[in-house]
Amino acid sequence: MGRNPKSFSERGVAGAYDFRNGIRTDELLRELSGLRGIKKFREMREYDPTVGSVMSAIEMLARGATWSFTPAPADATGEYAKFAESIFEDMDFTFDQFLSDAMSFLTYGFSLFEIVLKRRADGRIGIKKFGPRAQWTVDRFDVDAQGNIFGVWQNSYSGLPNVYIEAERMLLLRPMSSYADPAGRSVLRNAYRSYVYAKHIQEYEAVAIERELNGLPVGRVPSDYLADDAPEWKKAFVNKFETILRDVKKNQQGFVMLPSDLQEDDDGKLSDKYAVAFDLVASNGSRDIDTHKVVVRHQQDIARTVLADFLTMGMNDRGSFAMSRSKSDIFIKAMQAFLNSICDPINRKVLPQLWSMNSFPSEMMPRLGYSNLAPVDIDELGKFIRSMALAGAEMFPDDVLESAARKAAGLPPTSARNVEEEEIGDDDDVV
């Protein structure tokens, strides 16, 4: 039986979803599912130094790029591209602030904004702001079996009913898609295991250091105090003594107060030993496990998951400049993919909406892009120009090429040189 060519229905499903809650149900780690996962990723971003430094480096690199609108081929004067730029310059929240919130999609798997429009002074429709909607306020996504998004339910946290934001009013950014999951996939997902291990090892390390400095508290009480049928006052004393042993620390406030009663021997005579004793037992020798190396290995694994392990080079004896260069180049390529995840939804959704509302011709619609993501290596640029010249290419005179090379080197534009030449020529004429 052949397929009916007139049938355009979709039968399969994108993934395993709980459509009532709008979350995936096939997450292997329960602690990373739904809102619990958002809280875990937030903990990693705000408390782990490796995750924080990597995420900050990515955010600063994105905000340092040059963002602009490229005019459409039909827009010879660039008038419509300038209008698009004026829309983003006229927002209540700056585009730089928008980028800062948008890059949070790396941590949480998605970033959500409400597109708030306004009537501009020139009578046209513009954007008042991209209102950020924190990931932990998202109650659930409104999706169907195929992963089509109709909107999102947001917890207002004000005692009022949840707020529903329709799909046409929201801007959803995702760095990576995972079977049409509306919540995307966090780039820290693969780093979670290393984060947990590093965190626990550091906690054990801190406890071990404290024990090494203070010693392990050891308390001694008469055996009848520890008997099951001991009187309640003896049991209360043991409980109080356990609290003292657990909380004792060597600091300005630390002390232990014990009774001075001596133990009785078998004949009922007092001995030279106290009935209640307290000692600190120090450990001897060094440990077989170097916890520092273990923690560093997990920190490097965390950075490696987002292709930013070049930031950890130098933490051990391995690595070279050439390796760092190649790793940083890969990181820049990944950054370009992340920034494309911001540009594409704006070019495919926001700009067409504005063009339709303002009755602009679609062929005049520009595209948002970026440049100068990484600094130009002047030495490499010089070697390239020299190699091309030695190969016979006519590099100069070329005003466009010279202007680009001067700009990359931070030199004044060509016009400044022309002015100097004109002034020199005028002086020669006078002479």
Query: 63-117: per-residue pLDDT in tens?
Result: 888 899 999 999 999 999 999 999 999 999 889 899 999 999 989 999 999 999 9
Q: At what angle do helices 49-64 and 291-305 cross, to 10 degrees?
A: 30
In which element (H, E) is residue 421 found?
A: helix 414-430
Could you give the CA distance from residue 21 to residue 171 in angstroms, rounded to a whole number?
Answer: 20
pLDDT tens profile 406-419: 776 667 776 644 44
Residue 397: is the preceding peptide bond cis (ω within 30°)? yes
What are the C-alpha distances in Å from 198 to residues 252, 304, 305, 393?
Answer: 31, 15, 15, 55
Closest Cα to residue 331, out of 351, 311, 352? 311
Q: Are 133 and 154 in contact (CB under 8 A)?
A: yes
How many other CB atoms sit within 10 Å of the CB of residue 155? 16
- The DSSP letter of residue 120 is -
Token pair of 176 as six digits: 């990576």
For each of the chain's 431 residues, which pLDDT tens digit applies? 455 655 667 777 766 666 555 556 666 777 887 888 889 999 888 888 888 888 888 888 888 888 999 999 999 999 999 999 999 999 998 898 999 999 999 899 999 999 999 999 999 999 999 999 999 998 888 888 777 889 999 987 777 788 999 999 999 999 887 777 888 888 888 888 888 888 888 887 777 776 666 666 778 888 788 888 888 988 898 888 888 877 776 555 556 667 767 777 767 777 777 778 777 666 655 556 677 777 777 777 777 777 666 555 555 555 544 555 666 677 778 888 889 999 999 999 999 999 999 999 999 999 999 887 766 667 777 777 778 777 777 777 777 777 777 776 667 776 644 444 444 444 444 33
Handedness of CA 30, 33, 35, 40 (dihedral sign): positive
Token pair of 251 as six digits: 């600091």
Could you give the CA distance from residue 298 to residue 371 in angstroms, rounded to a whole number?
Answer: 34
Q: Where are the beta strands (DSSP E) in 210-295?
A: 216-220, 262-264, 270-274, 277-281
3-state secondary structure of 111: strand
Q: Are 142 and 151 in contact (CB under 8 A)?
A: yes
Segments making up each domain of the chain, as ranges: 11-215+286-375, 216-281, 378-431
- The DSSP letter of residue 253 is T
Lookup result for tokens 């990597």: 54
Token pair of 82 as six digits: 């300038």
Could you give the CA distance from residue 216 to residue 279 in angstroms, rounded to a whole number?
Answer: 8
Task: Give CA torsion, residues 339, 341, 342, 346, to 10 deg.
Answer: 140
pTM of the model: 0.68
Contacts of 119 (CB under 8 A, 6+ apart): 125, 126
How many other CB atoms sit within 10 Å of the CB of residue 2? 4
Q: State the greatest distance between any 2 C-alpha atoms of the chain, in Å, as a whole number.
A: 126
Q: Are 230 and 246 in contact (CB under 8 A)?
A: no
* DSSP-assigned letters across all residues of 77-122: T-HHHHHHHHHHHTSSS-HHHHHHHHTTHHHHS-EEEEEEEEE-TT
